[in-house]
Amino acid sequence: MQSQLTVRLSGDLDREVSNCAKRLRLKRSDIVRMALKSFLEGGYRIGEEIAPYERVKNLLGSVSSGIPDLGQNHRKHIIKKIKRHA
């Protein structure tokens, strides 16, 4: 069973929702449903603290610098780069 929800939007937000709906060729209600679903799935639950690690854990290890000892010798690498561009 579906339920109905009435929401008041500011003029700016109303225009943004309308423009987005027009661009994606969807109904405004579809845009609002998608936004609510994304918000709730994103871990933004009232009363729940989410650790910073939990928010970024899927990003850890996803980028490589190509420098195997960057974590251990970061100062050396930064100084080397500064000297190169000075």
What's the pTM? 0.51
pLDDT at 10 over 90: yes
pLDDT in the model for residue 33: 94
pLDDT in the model for residue 30: 95
Pick 83 or 45 by higher pLDDT. Answer: 83
pLDDT in tens, 24-76: 999 999 999 999 998 888 766 666 777 888 888 888 888 888 888 888 888 99
The values of phi and psi at residue 44, to 5°, are -95, 70
H/E stretch holding 19 reads: helix 11-24
| Spans of all domains in the chain | 1-61
pLDDT in the model for residue 19: 96
